[in-house]
Structure 1
Amino acid sequence: MGIEMNDLSLLEITKVKSWAIYFDYDNKHYLLHGKVDDYESIQELYERHLDENGNYDLIFIKSRYGRDYLSSDYIKSINRKTIVYNQIDKEYFRKQLIRSGFVENGKES
Protein backbone atom coordinates (compact mmCIF):
# COMPACT_ATOMS: atom_id res chain seq x y z
CA MET A 1 0.00 0.00 0.00
CA GLY A 2 1.47 3.33 -1.03
CA ILE A 3 0.63 6.87 -0.07
CA GLU A 4 -2.08 9.03 -1.62
CA MET A 5 -0.99 12.13 -3.47
CA ASN A 6 -3.89 14.07 -4.94
CA ASP A 7 -2.95 17.74 -4.70
CA LEU A 8 0.49 18.80 -5.94
CA SER A 9 0.23 22.10 -4.07
CA LEU A 10 0.73 20.07 -0.87
CA LEU A 11 3.99 18.55 -2.16
CA GLU A 12 7.37 20.01 -1.24
CA ILE A 13 10.66 18.31 -2.12
CA THR A 14 13.05 19.31 0.64
CA LYS A 15 16.32 17.51 -0.13
CA VAL A 16 17.72 15.52 -3.05
CA LYS A 17 20.75 13.28 -2.87
CA SER A 18 21.73 10.58 -5.32
CA TRP A 19 20.56 7.87 -2.89
CA ALA A 20 17.71 9.69 -1.09
CA ILE A 21 14.86 12.09 -1.72
CA TYR A 22 13.23 13.83 1.24
CA PHE A 23 9.79 15.29 0.64
CA ASP A 24 6.77 16.54 2.54
CA TYR A 25 3.20 15.97 1.53
CA ASP A 26 0.15 17.26 3.40
CA ASN A 27 2.15 18.01 6.58
CA LYS A 28 3.74 14.53 6.62
CA HIS A 29 7.44 13.90 6.07
CA TYR A 30 8.73 11.13 3.78
CA LEU A 31 12.03 9.58 2.75
CA LEU A 32 12.53 7.68 -0.50
CA HIS A 33 15.75 5.75 -0.02
CA GLY A 34 17.82 3.72 -2.46
CA LYS A 35 20.28 1.09 -1.29
CA VAL A 36 22.27 -1.86 -2.53
CA ASP A 37 21.90 -5.12 -0.61
CA ASP A 38 24.59 -7.49 -1.90
CA TYR A 39 23.84 -7.47 -5.64
CA GLU A 40 20.26 -6.20 -5.56
CA SER A 41 19.22 -2.56 -5.65
CA ILE A 42 16.20 -1.67 -3.54
CA GLN A 43 14.09 1.47 -3.21
CA GLU A 44 12.24 2.01 0.07
CA LEU A 45 9.63 4.56 1.11
CA TYR A 46 9.38 5.65 4.74
CA GLU A 47 7.27 8.13 6.65
CA ARG A 48 9.39 10.18 9.04
CA HIS A 49 7.96 11.04 12.47
CA LEU A 50 9.62 13.64 14.66
CA ASP A 51 10.08 12.41 18.23
CA GLU A 52 10.28 14.49 21.42
CA ASN A 53 14.10 14.69 21.16
CA GLY A 54 14.02 16.27 17.70
CA ASN A 55 15.03 13.07 15.90
CA TYR A 56 13.12 11.28 13.17
CA ASP A 57 11.80 7.74 13.51
CA LEU A 58 11.31 5.94 10.19
CA ILE A 59 8.09 4.03 9.59
CA PHE A 60 8.35 1.64 6.66
CA ILE A 61 5.67 2.00 3.97
CA LYS A 62 6.79 0.03 0.92
CA SER A 63 9.79 -1.25 -1.02
CA ARG A 64 10.55 -2.38 -4.56
CA TYR A 65 13.49 -3.53 -6.61
CA GLY A 66 15.00 -0.65 -8.53
CA ARG A 67 18.12 1.39 -8.96
CA ASP A 68 19.72 2.78 -5.83
CA TYR A 69 20.54 6.02 -7.68
CA LEU A 70 17.20 7.81 -7.22
CA SER A 71 17.67 11.38 -8.38
CA SER A 72 17.95 10.54 -12.09
CA ASP A 73 14.81 8.35 -11.94
CA TYR A 74 12.51 10.65 -9.96
CA ILE A 75 13.77 14.22 -10.35
CA LYS A 76 13.51 16.40 -13.42
CA SER A 77 14.41 20.04 -12.95
CA ILE A 78 13.35 22.88 -15.20
CA ASN A 79 16.99 23.96 -15.20
CA ARG A 80 18.68 20.72 -16.23
CA LYS A 81 22.17 21.73 -15.08
CA THR A 82 21.51 22.02 -11.35
CA ILE A 83 18.70 21.05 -9.02
CA VAL A 84 16.82 24.06 -7.69
CA TYR A 85 14.12 22.76 -5.34
CA ASN A 86 11.40 25.19 -6.38
CA GLN A 87 12.03 24.32 -10.05
CA ILE A 88 11.62 20.54 -9.71
CA ASP A 89 8.86 19.15 -11.90
CA LYS A 90 6.37 17.92 -9.26
CA GLU A 91 4.09 16.25 -11.80
CA TYR A 92 7.02 14.20 -13.14
CA PHE A 93 7.99 13.24 -9.56
CA ARG A 94 4.44 12.07 -8.81
CA LYS A 95 4.21 10.12 -12.09
CA GLN A 96 7.45 8.31 -11.26
CA LEU A 97 6.15 7.50 -7.77
CA ILE A 98 2.94 6.11 -9.30
CA ARG A 99 4.91 4.08 -11.86
CA SER A 100 7.04 2.65 -9.06
CA GLY A 101 4.00 1.79 -6.93
CA PHE A 102 4.79 4.17 -4.07
CA VAL A 103 1.74 6.36 -4.77
CA GLU A 104 -1.65 4.67 -5.07
CA ASN A 105 -3.41 7.42 -6.98
CA GLY A 106 -2.41 10.55 -8.72
CA LYS A 107 -5.42 12.45 -9.88
CA GLU A 108 -5.47 16.15 -9.23
CA SER A 109 -8.45 17.00 -7.05
Structure 2
Amino acid sequence: MQFTAEQINNILAQEKDTYIWQITHKIKADKQLTLPDEEIKDLFNRLKTTYDYLLKLGFSKKFLIEAFLYAEATNPNIKDQPRLKAWIEKENENPEKQFEDLLFIANKIQ
Protein backbone atom coordinates (compact mmCIF):
# COMPACT_ATOMS: atom_id res chain seq x y z
CA MET A 1 0.00 0.00 0.00
CA GLN A 2 1.34 3.40 -0.96
CA PHE A 3 0.24 6.76 0.32
CA THR A 4 0.34 10.08 -1.43
CA ALA A 5 2.18 13.00 0.15
CA GLU A 6 -1.18 14.57 0.95
CA GLN A 7 -2.37 11.43 2.73
CA ILE A 8 0.84 11.24 4.76
CA ASN A 9 0.53 14.92 5.69
CA ASN A 10 -3.08 14.35 6.78
CA ILE A 11 -2.04 11.40 8.96
CA LEU A 12 0.75 13.45 10.55
CA ALA A 13 -1.60 16.38 11.18
CA GLN A 14 -4.13 14.05 12.80
CA GLU A 15 -1.42 12.54 15.03
CA LYS A 16 -0.30 16.02 16.06
CA ASP A 17 -3.86 17.06 16.87
CA THR A 18 -4.36 13.88 18.91
CA TYR A 19 -1.19 14.60 20.90
CA ILE A 20 -2.18 18.24 21.50
CA TRP A 21 -5.69 17.17 22.59
CA GLN A 22 -4.15 14.71 25.06
CA ILE A 23 -2.00 17.47 26.54
CA THR A 24 -4.96 19.86 26.56
CA HIS A 25 -7.12 17.44 28.56
CA LYS A 26 -4.23 16.62 30.90
CA ILE A 27 -3.71 20.33 31.61
CA LYS A 28 -7.44 21.01 32.08
CA ALA A 29 -7.64 18.11 34.57
CA ASP A 30 -4.71 19.40 36.65
CA LYS A 31 -6.42 21.19 39.54
CA GLN A 32 -3.12 22.70 40.75
CA LEU A 33 -2.97 24.95 37.70
CA THR A 34 -4.59 28.34 37.44
CA LEU A 35 -5.86 28.57 33.89
CA PRO A 36 -7.53 31.44 32.06
CA ASP A 37 -11.30 31.19 31.77
CA GLU A 38 -11.63 29.99 28.19
CA GLU A 39 -13.20 27.27 26.12
CA ILE A 40 -11.18 24.08 25.78
CA LYS A 41 -11.01 24.58 22.00
CA ASP A 42 -9.33 27.95 22.55
CA LEU A 43 -6.76 26.35 24.85
CA PHE A 44 -6.18 23.63 22.25
CA ASN A 45 -5.60 26.25 19.54
CA ARG A 46 -3.10 28.17 21.69
CA LEU A 47 -1.22 24.98 22.54
CA LYS A 48 -1.19 23.90 18.90
CA THR A 49 0.23 27.26 17.81
CA THR A 50 2.86 27.06 20.54
CA TYR A 51 3.71 23.46 19.62
CA ASP A 52 4.27 24.50 16.00
CA TYR A 53 6.49 27.36 17.21
CA LEU A 54 8.58 24.95 19.30
CA LEU A 55 9.00 22.51 16.43
CA LYS A 56 10.03 25.37 14.15
CA LEU A 57 12.73 26.27 16.69
CA GLY A 58 13.94 22.66 16.67
CA PHE A 59 12.59 21.43 20.00
CA SER A 60 12.55 17.64 20.20
CA LYS A 61 12.68 16.71 23.90
CA LYS A 62 9.17 15.77 24.99
CA PHE A 63 9.60 16.97 28.59
CA LEU A 64 10.74 20.42 27.43
CA ILE A 65 7.94 20.69 24.89
CA GLU A 66 5.37 19.76 27.52
CA ALA A 67 6.87 22.15 30.08
CA PHE A 68 6.58 24.96 27.56
CA LEU A 69 3.00 23.95 26.72
CA TYR A 70 2.12 24.04 30.43
CA ALA A 71 3.63 27.52 30.62
CA GLU A 72 1.54 28.58 27.62
CA ALA A 73 -1.60 27.12 29.18
CA THR A 74 -1.21 29.19 32.33
CA ASN A 75 0.26 32.28 30.65
CA PRO A 76 -1.36 32.93 27.25
CA ASN A 77 1.09 33.91 24.54
CA ILE A 78 4.10 33.45 26.80
CA LYS A 79 6.17 32.62 23.74
CA ASP A 80 5.70 36.22 22.56
CA GLN A 81 6.85 37.89 25.79
CA PRO A 82 9.95 39.88 24.81
CA ARG A 83 12.29 38.72 27.59
CA LEU A 84 11.46 35.03 27.20
CA LYS A 85 11.58 35.26 23.41
CA ALA A 86 14.98 36.99 23.55
CA TRP A 87 16.33 34.30 25.91
CA ILE A 88 15.08 31.36 23.87
CA GLU A 89 15.85 32.81 20.46
CA LYS A 90 19.28 34.15 21.44
CA GLU A 91 21.49 34.42 18.38
CA ASN A 92 23.92 31.54 17.82
CA GLU A 93 22.35 29.49 20.63
CA ASN A 94 20.18 26.37 20.57
CA PRO A 95 16.62 27.44 21.55
CA GLU A 96 15.82 24.12 23.21
CA LYS A 97 19.02 24.28 25.27
CA GLN A 98 18.25 27.89 26.20
CA PHE A 99 14.84 26.87 27.55
CA GLU A 100 16.33 23.89 29.36
CA ASP A 101 18.88 26.21 30.99
CA LEU A 102 16.08 28.57 32.02
CA LEU A 103 14.22 25.71 33.71
CA PHE A 104 17.44 24.61 35.43
CA ILE A 105 18.00 28.13 36.76
CA ALA A 106 14.38 28.43 37.93
CA ASN A 107 14.72 25.11 39.76
CA LYS A 108 17.93 26.28 41.48
CA ILE A 109 16.25 29.46 42.70
CA GLN A 110 13.44 27.54 44.43
When normalised by structure 1's length, the TM-score is 0.28
Higher helix share: 2
* Larger RCO, structures 1/2 (Cα 8 Å, 6+ apart): 1
Higher strand share: 1
When normalised by structure 2's length, the TM-score is 0.28
